[in-house]
């Protein structure tokens, strides 16, 4: 079942634009996602114009010359869904290595041994001060710095690469335009000289990989959230598979237009009503989980060196600025990590924290990227050592 709504997808992408991207998305174009367990197939098969077979997805061209370096690099995919979750339906049962995935996370079962679920982290603007998720929550989530500064994906960039912002059309009247989109984008540190270039649709996103832009056979249906989402996933993983990008952040959100009547309102309305009517929002979260499965499946099937998949060197992080959807609070934000960044992280575990912050998580990833510090030291106080491989 499709979601007839406007989707906002924001991708900050570290790029070097001199590769030839000629390999297809998976057969059929659609992914395993779908509303309430249905299978989404998009509207017309693969959107990526291709000359090779599906088994060549992500294979470097002979002229690339970067295969060895790419096989040793680390890649970060951030999948950000605003407004939080229903924590009781999201939390796994058990703890440590012995845990069972919840209803919301069940679509990700095939990746459980490569996954870490993190519960209890607080998204804060200062020590002990939870963010307001309509004001400062989004901009602090990936930066851990209220005064502005680079987000975590910037540490995974390579010299000379640029950042690109890609997203769906957002009207000025939308609350998310002022409170989420703008603060998130402007929070990058301009002193690093990293430009932020807006792209509002898939074709512009694909064409940004000049001079060898990713050609599209068709544009995704702008009123079909799953088709649009999967197209952005396919473009991004194509680019990463050729080492044109090593850091991607995608924002999933419904801002304009109706969503199916079964859900009865916008995402913000569903979130606010979720305390008394949780089923709609849980179904919506299951759909996001299914789409994440599609993204991880794309990453897994890309080979970057003999015997090395892109997922072997990557981390996929699903995160929200809000914890309980009805709260608009940064308390206990949901975090799902898939992949181990080339063996740097432990996986196959469910961790519950108290009095730890989003900054501590970002500092942990910063250490893997080779940085000793990250964000505001009052927020990012110490790494989450349980995440780090021995």
| Model confidence pLDDT, tens digit, residues 54-85 | 334 344 443 344 567 778 899 999 888 888 99
pLDDT at 312 over 70: yes
Q: Tell me, what DSSP letter sits at residue 129? A: E
In a domain, 26, yes or no: yes
Q: Indicate if the alpha-carbon torsion angle 165, 6, 265, 236 is positive or negative.
A: negative
Q: Which of the two residues, 174 and 263, has the higher pLDDT score?
A: 263
| Predicted pLDDT of residue 277 | 86
Distances in Å between the Cα of 258 and the Cα atoms of 167, 174, 225, 323 are 19, 14, 11, 24
How far apart CA 102 and CA 109 sit, in angstroms, is 10
User: Angle 278-300/225-241 helices, nearest 10 degrees?
Assistant: 30
- The structural domain count of the chain equals 1
Q: Say if residue 375's pLDDT is above 50.
A: yes
| Integer Cα distance of 86 and 259 in angstroms | 19
Q: Is residue 95 part of a domain?
A: yes
Q: Do residues 77 and 248 lie in contact, with contact meaning Cβ atoms separated by under 8 Å?
A: yes
Say if 347 falls within a structural domain: no
pLDDT at 3 (0 to 100) = 37
pLDDT digits (tens, 9 = 90+) for 222-242: 767 778 788 888 988 988 887
First vs last C-alpha separation in the chain: 44
Q: Compute the distance between CA of residue 2 and CA of residue 224 in angstroms, rounded to an integer.
A: 6
Q: Would you state the structure tokens that stand for residue 271, as one six-digit string?
A: 């979130």
Measured between alpha carbons, how far is 342 from 133 in angstroms, rounded to an integer?
A: 33
Task: Flag whether 159 is in a domain.
Answer: yes
The most distant pair of C-alpha atoms in the chain lies apart, rounded to whole Å, by 58
Could you tell me the pTM of the whole model? 0.81
Is 24 within 8 Å of 208 (Cβ atoms)?
no
In this prediction, residue 128 carries a pLDDT of 95
Residue 168 pLDDT > 80, yes or no? Answer: no
Whether residue 77 is contained in a domain is answered as: yes
> Which DSSP helix (H) or strand (E) runs through 303?
strand 303-305
Contacts of 1 (CB under 8 A, 6+ apart): 34, 35, 36, 38, 40, 260
Q: Between 93 and 284, whose confidence is greater?
A: 93
Owning domain of residue 328: 7-112+123-336
Q: Does 132 fall in a domain?
A: yes
**Is residue 373 in a domain?**
no
Residue that wins the pLDDT comparison between 189 and 298: 298
Please report which confidence band the pLDDT of residue 365 belongs to, taking 50, 70 and 90 as the band edges.
Answer: very high
Q: How many helices (H) and strands (E) does the chain have?
A: 10, 17
52 within a domain of the structure (yes/no)? yes
45, 303 in Cβ contact below 8 A? no
């Amino acid at each position: 079942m499709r979601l007839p709504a406007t989707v906002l997808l924001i991708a900050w992408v570290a790029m070097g634009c001199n590769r030839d991207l000629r390999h297809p998305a998976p057969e059929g174009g659609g992914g395993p996602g779908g509303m309430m367990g249905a299978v989404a197939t998009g509207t017309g098969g693969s959107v990526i114009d291709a000359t090779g077979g599906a088994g060549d997805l992500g294979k470097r061209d002979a002229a690339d010359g970067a295969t060895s370096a790419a096989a040793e690099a680390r890649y970060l995919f951030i999948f950000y869904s605003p407004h939080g979750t229903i924590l009781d339906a999201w939390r796994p049962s058990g703890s440590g290595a012995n845990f069972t995935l919840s209803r919301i996370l069940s679509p990700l079962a095939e990746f459980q041994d490569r996954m870490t679920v993190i519960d209890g982290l607080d998204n804060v603007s200062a020590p002990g001060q939870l963010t307001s998720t309509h004001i400062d929550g989004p901009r602090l989530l990936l930066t851990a710095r209220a005064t502005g500064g680079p987000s975590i994906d910037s540490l995974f960039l390579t010299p000379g690469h640029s950042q690109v912002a890609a997203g769906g059309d957002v009207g000025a009247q939308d609350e998310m335009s002022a409170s989420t989109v703008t603060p998130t984008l402007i929070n990058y540190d301009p002193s690093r000289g990293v430009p932020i270039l807006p792209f509002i649709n898939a074709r512009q996103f694909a064409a940004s990989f000049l001079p060898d832009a990713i050609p599209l056979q068709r544009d995704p249906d702008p009123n079909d959230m799953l088709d649009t989402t999967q197209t952005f996933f396919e473009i991004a993983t194509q680019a990463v598979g050729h080492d044109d990008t090593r850091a991607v952040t995608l924002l999933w959100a419904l801002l304009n237009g109706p969503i199916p009547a079964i859900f009865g309102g916008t995402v913000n309305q569903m979130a606010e009503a979720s305390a008394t009517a949780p089923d709609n929002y849980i179904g919506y979260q299951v759909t996001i989980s299914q789409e994440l499965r599609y993204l991880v499946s794309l990453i897994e099937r890309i080979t970057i060196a003999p015997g090395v998949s892109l997922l072997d060197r990557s981390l996929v992080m699903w995160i929200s600025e809000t914890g309980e959807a009805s709260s608009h609070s940064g308390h206990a934000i949901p975090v799902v990590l898939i992949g181990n960044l080339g063996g740097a992280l432990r996986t196959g575990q469910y961790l519950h924290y108290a009095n730890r912050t989003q900054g501590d998580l970002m500092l942990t990833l910063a250490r893997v990227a080779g940085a000793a510090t990250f964000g505001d030291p009052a927020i990012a106080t110490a790494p989450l050592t349980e995440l780090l491989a021995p």
